[in-house]
Structure 1
Amino acid sequence: MAIELVTGKKGTVHVDSADDGALYAAIAGKGEYVLDLDDRLACTMTTANKAHVASGHGLMQGRHWLIDAEGVDLTIQNGTQGQKRNDLIVARYECDAKNGNIESVALKVIKGTPTTGTPADPACTRGDILEGAALVNEQPLWRIPLNGITVGTPIQMFDVLTPAKEAWDSVAQAVVKAAKVVLDNFRTSSTVVVTVPVAWPVDVSRVVAVVPSYVCQEYSDRIVVSDWGADGVDVRAGVDQNVSMTLHVLYV
């Protein structure tokens, strides 16, 4: 079939997980994220051997999965005295190719390797779900560090996907603004960079660009603002002369 109306009534079952997955991946990105909903899969150690992952929603290469209000409890194996270890809590996607490509997801603990040095995270199985080439893919969620028999605080390993409204608001607030600063009658040099003091209209860390316009008092010359900072602007010129300059300061 060359073309198909996916979100349309056809009279037969024709929308599958690959259709939805492609749509979500195109909108949110092809990576793996946690959505800003519910408890955002918060993880706590309820006992020395039990991790609790709270409610939330994940996106795994376009596949939407969730944990309900009950949450999920997982067992962390005991540590080894005098050694360190990193375990990972992952969301494990599976596609059963021998049973009609039935798909499923579950949380799993991947046990790391104990060491007396710096522990490394255990490897996750990676696969390309969007291309239909993955029988297994594991999305890292939390690192559980163990130091001897002591279990540390879970460490987040996922990115929380910013809702589109919040992302748009943050962009709108970062609109570039402009101000003018006049530098009257300073002397340029043909041999050294001259730093001209500037009374910046905002904190200089907010300045994103400085565009100069200038009037040469004696000779025609090309004058360049090569850098700027708290002390002012660095000015390069080809001849020694007096110059008046207006800085068009762009800032956020």
Structure 2
Amino acid sequence: MASTYTMNLVTGAQGKEHITSADDGSLYASMYGTGQYVMHGFTHSLVNSNLIRIAEGDALINGRHCRINHGYVADLQLASGSNGLNRIDLVVITYKKNTESDEKATLDVLTGKATSGTAKAPSYEAGNVLNGDTVVQFPLYRINYTGINMPIVTQLFKPGKSLMEIYQNIMAILIPPVGWIEENTTGNNPSERYPGTSWKLYGVGKFGVCVNASDIDFAKDKTGGAKKINLSTSQMPKHHHITYGHSHEVNKHYHGVEKIYVTTNQGGSHTHKAWYDKDGGGSNKTRYIPGGHTESSDNFIKSSGMHTHDMLIPEHNTKSTATTTKNNSDANTSDSGTGSDITILPPYITLYRWKRVN
């Protein structure tokens, strides 16, 4: 059953000293974590095979803050290696609580057991101050010995980060890097949300296409395309136009000519002569002998005066039966169309696209 406890106001004035290491330890543990951390420093240098030097730094052991003061170092003695033997030592921070008023932290070297086989690291106190453990050890370095050779030092902790470093890391995650693209519908420059950055509109009036390194048309930062195009003859789909063979019929019909009178023009006065031959007695004969030998001295036909001749052209109709004209061959139609540009824009929606440039 849990014990009943009155609320403890740690940072409130009480007229006496009342803030304990447990109070601060609890606060640090809640802020930074309940584990064991090197916040900064505690770097090492191996001076020689028998001396390791630990630089200044700050560490937390379950909320308990321990440090090597600024400007100081800790030199720790190491046992020498043994010829033909292997060994592993540990450099640890040891927290120890003797009483409520007696707590301390020290840097210690835990020496392992030398062996001709595979060496093992020495055991250490892996407790938790928050659970009431009075001794807790935090391993910093493992030191491997092989015979009398120079030992090899391996760091066992991951350095923690300060609040500023954490803030910077968070901002590095939250603030997009240079070259980043953001879109919005408001038109607000992203520099308003990310102080200290510069952004410019990117790809104004253009669609975005993922880079394709194997296609020169879509190489990095490549632009192209058009809103409208005009198809050339070679770009048009293959097609043709045909007028199929057909016939035209003409119905049965007539063409009429009305009855008319015509009159010849008048001719002038004239005579007609003839050839004649003589009979056996030498007398002139009046018979006409075509191809005769002698032309008569007188006109054979007397002169006739100026006159005309009338002629009647009777009314009549031309006659026709129904006929059909036919064309059995195909024909091509004439050109059509105006050659205007065609729009190739797909459905779209406009956004503001920004690129971080600084």
TM-score normalised according to structure 2 size: 0.47
Aligned AA (1:73): D
Structure 2 residue corresponding to 1:79, chosen from 75, 78, 81: 81
Counterparts of 1:181 and 1:115 in 2: how far apart (Å)?
67
**1:48/1:12 CA distance change after superposition, 3 Å:** same
Counterparts of 1:25 and 1:200 in 2: how far apart (Å)?
53
Deviations 1:210-233 (A, max 9, x none): xxxxxxxxxxxxxxxxxxxxxxxx
Counterparts of 2:165 and 2:220 in 1: how far apart (Å)?
28
- The answer to whether residue 26 in structure 2 is matched with residue 27 in structure 1 is no
Corresponding position of 1:54 = 55
Corresponding position of 1:96 = 98
- The answer to whether residue 151 in structure 2 is matched with residue 149 in structure 1 is no
Shift of 1:135: 1.6
TM-score normalised according to structure 1 size: 0.65
Q: Does structure 2 retain, via aligned residues, the 8 Å contact 1:44–1:154? A: no
**1:102/1:201 CA distance change after superposition, 3 Å:** farther
Give the 3-state SS of the residue equivalent to 1:19 in structure 2. helix
Shift of 1:181: 5.1
Deviations 1:231-250 (A, max 9, x none): xxxxxxxxxxxxx9xxxxxx
Aligned AA (1:123): S
Q: Does structure 1 retain, via aligned residues, the 8 Å contact 2:49–2:151? A: no
Aligned AA (2:27): L
Corresponding position of 1:105 = 105
Aligned AA (1:110): L
**1:12/1:149 CA distance change after superposition, 3 Å:** same
Counterparts of 2:166 and 2:20 in 1: how far apart (Å)?
30
Give the 3-state SS of the residue equivalent to 2:169 in structure 1. helix
Corresponding position of 1:130 = 130
Structure 2 residue corresponding to 1:18, chosen from 7, 16, 22: 22
Shift of 1:156: 1.3
Give the 3-state SS of the residue equivalent to 1:44 in structure 2. strand
Unaligned runs of 5+ in 2: 183-206, 222-346, 348-358
Deviations 1:104-157 (A, max 9, x none): 1111111112233443322111222012x2121101111112111123242211
Corresponding position of 1:139 = 138
Q: Does structure 1 retain, via aligned residues, the 8 Å contact 2:29–2:62? A: yes
Give the 3-state SS of the residue equivalent to 2:130 in structure 1. coil
Aligned AA (1:167): I
Corresponding position of 1:231 = none
Give the 3-state SS of the residue equivalent to 2:113 in structure 1. coil
Could you say what the CA RMSD is over the residues aligned between the two structures, in angstroms? Answer: 3.1
When the two structures are aligned, how many residues end up with a matched partner?
189
Unaligned runs of 5+ in 1: 184-196, 203-243, 245-252
Give the 3-state SS of the residue equivalent to 2:129 in structure 1. coil
Give the 3-state SS of the residue equivalent to 2:107 in structure 1. strand
Give the 3-state SS of the residue equivalent to 1:13 in structure 2. coil
Aligned AA (1:81): N
Counterparts of 2:136 and 2:114 in 1: how far apart (Å)?
24
Shift of 1:89: 0.5
Identical-pair percentage: 31
Give the 3-state SS of the residue equivalent to 1:26 in structure 2. helix
Larger radius of gyration: 2
Aligned AA (1:154): V
Q: Does structure 1 retain, via aligned residues, the 8 Å contact 2:52–2:76? A: yes
Corresponding position of 1:205 = none
Corresponding position of 2:72 = 70
Larger fraction in strand: 1
**1:122/1:63 CA distance change after superposition, 3 Å:** same
Q: Does structure 1 retain, via aligned residues, the 8 Å contact 2:25–2:62? A: yes
How do 1:233-248 and structure 2 match up within 5 A? none
Give the 3-state SS of the residue equivalent to 1:162 in structure 2. coil
**1:182/1:65 CA distance change after superposition, 3 Å:** same
Corresponding position of 2:162 = 163
Shift of 1:6: 0.8
